[in-house]
Amino acid sequence: MSVLNNAADVLRCFGNDCPDLTVSDVVKLLGMPKANASRLLKAMREANMLETIGDSHRHRPGRLMLDLAAAYRRSSLLIGRASEVVAEASSTFGHTGYISVRDGKEVTAVADFQGTNALRVVSNIGRRLPAHLSATGRSLLARLGEETVHALYAGHSALHDLSEQLSKVRHQGFAYSSQEATPGVDAIAISVADPRTDEAVSLCIVYPHALVDTKGRDEMIAALAKGAARIAEDLGDSAFVAPRI
């Protein structure tokens, strides 16, 4: 089913900095004969996997794709439970929260809860980030064994640093970052898993560095920790480490 793989490759092109695609974009990005690219996009259009923007030749994901992320969320008890916790914490503290999943060396947010404070971190749902460069990602990587992480990041220059960070996360029970991915933005993240389905998600709160002191941070960690601990207990996540602040 090489068409399917080609179609998937096209969809993968809609990355962080590519809101739309033309036939020649696809030719360039995937190195495909343009006859194929043309027919492929046409077929994807007819299947509602893509749609053209206005009457231009630019394509974006089609209506069919709009509901799938929601279906993903609905398929997972774990995501639902985690969303309740983060929604509550986001509402209480006024900061933006996420639920994220890991996919190899990347993490993606699957749900977001906008903060209510005047100064808040803007949601970036649907953007893939390198797992090792964010608190969310590290909280998820920390769930993997030391060896698994080594295998995943074999040959990666950041492996040594990462290992140290992860053992700290494993010990603390939460991941923390201060102004790492974005200047002025701090994040806390706690992961929890559903052993029945092998899923792991990260509960994350992001907030402006200038607005929160250590005490405020610890209150948020405690709030997430409490919710995560209950989820871990209910679903039987024996690997869960209760955060120690």
Q: How far is the CB of 226 from its own copies (least distance, A)?
A: 20
CA distance 60 to 22: 9
Q: Examine residue 44 and tell whether it contacts DNA (CB under 7 A).
A: no
Tell me the HSE value of 80 on the side-chain side, using a 13 A CA sphere: 8
Using the rule CB under 7 A, is 3 a contact of DNA? yes
Candidates 19-27, 63-71, 74-82, 200-208: pick the segment binding DNA (CB under 7 A).
Answer: 19-27
73 makes contact, choosing from DNA, its own copies, none, with CB < 5 to 8 Å by partner type, with its own copies
Q: Which is nearer to its own copies, 109 or 174 (CB)?
A: 109
C-beta separation of 170 from 176 below 8 A: no
Give the residue, chosen from 6, 134, 136, 191, that forms a contact with DNA under the rule CB under 7 A: 6
Q: Which helix (H) or strand (E) holds 129?
A: strand 129-130
- H or E element, residue 152: helix 146-152
Q: Is 32 in the site for DNA (CB under 7 A)?
A: yes
Query: In terms of CB distance, is 117 or 172 closer to its own copies?
Result: 117
Site string for its own copies, 182-201 (x = CB under 8 A): --------------xxxx--
- Concatenate the DSSP letters of all residues of 9-66 into one string: HHHHT--TT-S-B-HHHHHHHH---HHHHHHHHHHHHHTTSEEESTTSS-EEE-HHHH
**Cβ–Cβ under 8 Å, residues 121 and 185:** yes
Q: Are 60 and 73 in contact (CB under 8 A)?
A: no
- Which residue lies nearer to its own copies by CB, 116 or 179? 116
In whole angstroms, give the CA distance from residue 26 to residue 34.
Answer: 8
Listed in sequence order, the residues at least 6 apart from 213 whose beta carbon sits closer than 8 Å to its beta carbon are none
- Each residue 2-21 as x (binds its own copies by CB under 8 A) or -, in order, gives -xxx-xx--xx-xx--xxx-
Report the SS3 class of residue 183.
coil
Give the contact letters, 27-66, x = binds to its own copies (CB under 8 A), - = no.
------------xx--xx-xxxx---xxxx---xx-xxxx
Q: Which of the residues 48 through 87 are near DNA (CB under 7 A)?
A: 57
Rule CB under 8 A: which of 123-142 touch its own copies?
Answer: 125-128
Taking the C-alpha atoms of residue 46 and residue 124, their distance in angstroms, rounded to an integer, is: 30
Binding site for its own copies (CB under 8 A): 1, 3-5, 7-8, 11-12, 14-15, 18-20, 39-40, 43-44, 46-49, 53-56, 60-61, 63-76, 87, 91, 101, 103, 108, 110, 113-114, 116, 125-128, 196-199
Interface residues toward DNA, by CB under 7 A? 1-4, 6, 22-25, 32-43, 57
